[in-house]
Amino acid sequence: ILAFNAADTPGSLEQRAAAAPEAFEACPTAADDIALLAFTSGTTGAPKAVVHTHRDVLAACNAWPRHVLKATPDDVVTGSPPLAFTFGLGGLLVFPMAAGSAIYFPDARYTPEGMVREMGAHGVTICYTSPTFYRQMAPHARAIGIPGLRICVSAGEALPDATRQLWKEATGIEMLDGIGATEMFHIFISSAGGEVRRGAIGKAVPGYQAKVVDEQGREVPRGTVGRLAVIGPTGCRYMDDARQTRYVRQGWNHPGDAFVQDEDGYFHYQARDDDMIITSGYNVGGPEVEDCLL
């Protein structure tokens, strides 16, 4: 077990770093060598080890960050997701490194007010966190202000429109929504700026294709609830786990989400595909109910 933020603990990351030699001899690797194992349980309970290669990581850097996020070397990035989650690993480590951006990690776990104050104090320009945390930060952002902030990435759970509007009223910033999966490494449907559409997550990120299908994998008509299927430069590979055959079918990845695609190609999240509410013969997603309540 490798301990972090524990300088006095024998064998901690800090002690190992202090004892490391000045010269570093890189290990020769190939593009298809394993770069990392990311563990996910999704909604099924039992953890699965997801294999990602060096090629996957570089491909991810050339997809959503390049075409949607568009970070620069002048940006300072922070957020609340743990690095053990690929949302945090990509957003708070891999993607800033690829763009040459600075990264700010706090010494302690963020609180809503604390995160607002730290972002202002350290000139943060890009923030990653969940809709729940944005909702909790909104009153503090309105009262304190975050003058340097320009991009706010939301993922990890459905983004209610009420939360999007609350944050925009508090900061003037239109949130950048996205959906990804540990199996895909990061975000594959998103939108930003003038492409944002109320109630929609966005369109497939360049490099990826997405469609809404029925139980047999056939694409359903636009405006019809179905299951999301995605294909692109990254994809699911479980380590020695038969559940991969359920996730990957005919080359398409099935994250387990119910979506509607509108006539303009925007994808609207409904719910997990095993968690739809059926009322009077209609399929109703939990986020739709939540949005009404908020």
- The 10s digit of each residue's pLDDT in 217-251 is 999 999 999 999 999 999 999 998 888 888 999 99
The amino acid sitting at 106 is P
Distance between alpha carbon 154 and the CA centroid of its chain, in Å?
7
3-state secondary structure the chain: CCCCCCCCCCCCHHHHHHHCCCCCCCCCCCCCCEEEEEEECCCCCCCEEEEEEHHHHHHHHCCHHHHHHCCCCCCEEEECCCCCCHHHHHHHHHHHHHHCCEECCCCCCCCHHHHHHHHHHCCCCEEEECHHHHHHHHHHHHHHCCCCCCEEEECCCCCCHHHHHHHHHHHCCCCEEEEECHHHCCEEEECCHHHCCCCCCEEECCCCEEEEECCCCCECCCCCCEEEEEECCCCCCECCCCCHHHHEECCEECCCEEEEECCCCCEEEEEECCCCEEECCEEECHHHHHHHHC
What is the per-residue pLDDT for 48? 92
CB-CB contact of 232 with 240 (8 Å): no
What is the per-residue pLDDT for 282? 46
CB-CB contact of 89 with 60 (8 Å): no
Give the integer Cα–Cα distance in Å for 15 and 29. 27
CB-CB contact of 160 with 131 (8 Å): yes
pLDDT in tens, the chain (294 residues): 667 777 788 888 888 888 888 888 888 999 999 999 999 875 556 889 999 999 999 999 999 999 999 999 999 999 999 998 999 999 999 999 999 999 999 888 899 999 999 999 999 999 999 999 999 999 999 999 999 999 999 988 889 999 999 999 999 999 999 999 999 999 999 998 888 888 899 999 999 999 999 999 999 999 999 999 999 999 999 998 888 888 999 999 999 999 999 999 999 999 876 655 545 344 555 656 666 666
Give the integer Cα–Cα distance in Å for 100 and 175. 23
Distance between alpha carbon 252 and the CA centroid of its chain, in Å?
20
CB-CB contact of 251 with 212 (8 Å): no
- Exposed e or buried b per residue across 154-165, where buried means at least 16 C-beta atoms within 10 angstroms of its C-beta: bbbebbbeebbe
Give the integer Cα–Cα distance in Å for 277 and 289. 10
Q: Put residue 265 in one of left, alpha, beta given phi > 0 → left and psi -120 to 50 → alpha.
A: left
Q: What CATH architecture applies to the domain 58-293?
A: 3-Layer(aba) Sandwich (3.40)
